[in-house]
Amino acid sequence: MRRLIGLMLPLFLALGLTLACAGASAQNYPSRPIRLVVPYPPGGPLDIMARAIGQKLTEAWSQPVVVDNRAGAGGNIGADLVAKSPADGYTLLMGAVATHAINPTLYGKLPYDPVKDFTPVALVAQVPNILVVNPSVPAKSVKELIEFARARPGHLNFGSGSTGSTGHLAGELFKTMAGVQMVHIPYKGGAPAMADLLAGQVQLMFDNLANALPNVRAGRLRALAVTTLARSPAMPDLPTIAESGLPGFDLTTWFGLMVPAGTPPEIVLKLNQEIVRALNAKDMRERLDKMGTEPPANNTPEHFAAFIRTEAAKYAKVVKDSGAKVE
Partner 1 sequence: MQVRNGKDFWAGLMFTGFGLGFMLVAQNYPMGSAVRMGPAYFPTVLGGMLAVLGGMVFFRAFVSKFTYPLKVFLFRPLLLVGSIVVGGATYFAESQLKGVPMVQSALAGLSLFLFIGAFGPRSMFLILLGVVIFGYALKPLGLVLSTVVLIVISAMGGHDFRKKEIVILTIVLVIFGVFVFVKGLGLPFNLWPGE
Partner 2 sequence: MDFALFHNLSIGFGVALSLQNLMYCFIGVLLGTLIGVLPGIGPVATIAMLLPVTFNLSPISALIMLAGIYYGAQYGGSTTAILVNLPGESSSVITCLDGYQMARQGRAGPALAIAAMASFFAGTVATVVIALFAPPLAEVALKFGPAEYFSLMVLGLVGATVLAHGSLVKAIAMTILGLLLGLIGTDVNSGIARFSFGLSELSDGIGFVIVAMGVFGFAEIVSNLEQGASRDVFVNKVTGLMPTWKDLKSSSGAILRGTALGSMLGILPGGGALLSSFAAYTLEKKIGDTSMFGKGEIRGVAAPESANNAGAQTSFIPLLTLGIPSNPVMALMIGAMMIQGIAPGPQVMTERPELFWGMIASMWIGNLMLVILNLPLIGMWVKLLTVPYRLLYPSILLFCCVGVYSLSNQPFDVMLTALFGLIGYVFVKLECEPAPLILGFILGPLMEENLRRAMLLSRGDASVFFTKPISGVLLGIAILLLLITLAPAVRKTREVAFQE
Which residues of the chain form contacts with partner 2 (CB under 8 A)? 41-45, 47-48, 51-52, 54-55, 58, 67-74, 77, 80, 106, 111, 154, 157, 162-164, 183, 185-189, 191-192, 194-196, 198-199, 201-202, 210, 213-215, 217-218, 220, 283, 286-287, 290-291, 326-327
Q: Which is nearer to partner 1, 140 or 325 (CB)?
A: 325
Best CA proximity match to 47, nearest among 9, 94, 105: 94
Shortest distance, position 149 Cβ to partner 1, whole Å:
21
H or E, element range at 143: helix 142-151
Task: Answer positive or negative: Cα dihedral of 325, 38, 310, 190.
Answer: negative
Is residue 313 a contact point for partner 1 (CB under 8 A)?
A: no
Q: How many CB atoms lie within 10 A of CB 240?
A: 22
Q: Which is nearer to partner 1, 67 or 216 (CB)?
A: 67
Residue type, 221: L
Cβ pair 106, 324 in contact under 8 A? yes
Rounded to 5 degrees, what are φ and ψ at 42? -65, 145
Q: Which is nearer to partner 2, 266 or 289 (CB)?
A: 289
Is residue 68 a contact point for partner 1 (CB under 8 A)?
A: yes
Alpha-carbon distance of 83 to 56, in angstroms, equals 24
Judged by DSSP in three states, 199 sits in: helix
By a kind-dependent CB cut-off of 5 to 8 A, residue 189 interacts, out of partner 2, partner 1, none, with partner 2
Cβ pair 89, 267 in contact under 8 A? yes
Is residue 274 a contact point for partner 1 (CB under 8 A)?
A: no
Shortest distance, position 128 Cβ to partner 2, whole Å:
15
Is residue 66 a contact point for partner 1 (CB under 8 A)?
A: yes
Best CA proximity match to 175, nearest among 144, 207, 203, 153: 153
Shortest distance, position 198 Cβ to partner 2, whole Å:
6
Shortest distance, position 80 Cβ to partner 2, whole Å:
7
Residues near partner 1 (CB under 8 A) are 33, 35, 66, 68
